[in-house]
Amino acid sequence: MLGRSFISPWMFATMLCAASALAQEPFAEPEQEIVAPQTTSGEQDIQPSAESEDPFAADGNDAESEAEASTLEDEYGFDPAEEFASEEEPAQRDPWEGFNRAVFRFNDTADRWVLKPVATSYRQITPIFMQTGISNFFGNLREITNSFNSLLQGKWGQAGNDAGRFLVNSTVGVAGLFDVAKHVGLESGEGEDFGQTLAVWGMPSGPYVVLPFMGPSTLRDAPGGVVDWYTNPLTYINHDQTSYAFKFTDLVQTRAGLLQAETLLHGDRYILLRDAYLQRRDYLIRDGELEDDFGSDSDEEFDF
């Protein structure tokens, strides 16, 4: 008992000294940061003053985003994220960014491990003329959806052009494998879907949303995809295995066509794909008549 009562005060004192020494270490670093930047260089003298004004302005995430922006600017001459979206659009058109990013990561993981390897192998082993024929075949089937939505939008000329392309390519073009229609003056359009039809009818796009396995969409375009499903001829194939084979081939062909464009994506892929999708939808809805960001005289003709 006497031994314990004699040792415990010393142990207590030792613990206090150790605790005080550990407590002084975190406060030693700021003192070194204040003294170290004192130099005679003009450029280095400016940096401490900027840090002292706002010590919490820079962190790891900001440094990474600035590095990504500088990389994009060096490669393309501009930052696509800033070029394609205004300062107000992300908050207004993507209020569910947290949820959308989670679904985007899920889709991106599934694409990286399943769809992209299949599309890459398909691109490598399939001859170019066969890829062109397959693309023409599925593109010809989509002319039915294009014609239907062109009629609903009151685009009579475009509806006639799309219907004519389907008739010519389905017969002379051997079920659409060859695009004969373009050689007789029936050029392929940008494509029409029911989401664009709803936009022409005055329905707002609503928030941006990323759907599992489906990818980017909006609250307006997502229900429109249901209508387009009914206007797709592949929907009415009664044999399940044949229907799945056609749809899977169409999916792989579409993904293979995006492999080269994917190499241009650098930085925050979510933001780039989101802004590209929204800009593309606006382009299709307005039939290519977009406002000039640099302010030309033609802007007054398209006041949206």
Q: State the maximum Cα–Cα separation within the chain, in Å, rounded to a whole number.
A: 110
Average pLDDT of the chain, as a whole number: 76
Q: Does 90 reside within a domain?
A: yes
pLDDT at 73: 53
For residues 184 and 158, give the distance between their C-alpha atoms in angstroms, rounded to a whole number. 15
User: Whole-angstrom Cα distance, residue 152 to residue 77?
Assistant: 41
Q: Evaluate if residue 250 carries a pLDDT over 80.
A: yes
Backbone angles phi, psi at 301, to 5 degrees: -75, -20
Tens digits of per-residue pLDDT, 127-148? 999 999 999 999 999 999 999 9
Flag whether pLDDT at 296 surpasses 80. no
Indicate whether 67 belongs to any domain: no
The alpha carbon dihedral of 72, 74, 75, 79 has a sign of positive
Question: At residue 23, what are phi and psi to the nearest 5 degrees?
Answer: -70, -25
Alpha carbon distance 199, 153 (integer Å): 9
Indicate whether 33 belongs to any domain.
no
- Is residue 170 in a domain? yes
Q: Flag whether 246 is in a domain.
A: yes
Of 135, 151, 100, the C-alpha closest to 275 is: 100
Rounded Cα distance, 135 and 176, in Å = 9
- pLDDT, tens digit, 9 for 90 and up, residues 92-104: 789 999 999 999 9
Answer yes or no: is pLDDT of 182 > 50: yes
| Domain-located, residue 40 | no
> CA end-to-end span of the chain, whole Å?
90
Q: Give residue 212's pLDDT.
A: 95
pTM over 0.85, yes/no: no
Q: How many domains does the chain have?
A: 1
Residue 111 predicted with pLDDT over 70: yes
Range of the domain at 98: 84-289
- Residue 56 confidence (pLDDT): 38
> pLDDT tens, 147-156?
999 999 999 9
**Does residue 110 form part of some domain?**
yes
Burial annotation 99-123 (CB, 10 A radius, 16+ → b, else e):
ebbebbeebeeebeeebbeebeebb
CB 219 within 8 A of CB 206: yes
Across residues 220-228, what is the average pLDDT?
Answer: 93
In terms of Cβ atoms closer than 10 Å to its own Cβ (0-12, 13-18, 19+), residue 278 is buried
Query: CA 254, CA 137: separation in Å to the nearest integer?
Result: 12
Phi-psi category of 237—alpha, beta or left, where left has phi over 0 and alpha has psi -120 to 50? beta
pLDDT-wise least confident of 55-64, 197-206, 212-221 = 55-64
Instruction: With respect to residue 79, please indicate whether it lies within any of the assigned structural domains.
Output: no
Residues counted in the chain: 304
Handedness of CA 150, 195, 266, 139 (dihedral sign): negative
Q: How far apart are CA 209 and CA 270, in angstroms?
A: 12
Sign, CA dihedral 221-222-226-231, equals: positive
Upper half-sphere CA count for residue 93 (Cβ side, 13 Å): 22
pLDDT at position 262 is: 84
Q: Where are the alpha helices (DSSP H) in the chain?
A: 2-35, 42-53, 60-76, 80-84, 89-93, 97-110, 116-125, 128-152, 156-171, 194-200, 221-230, 240-256, 259-262, 269-285
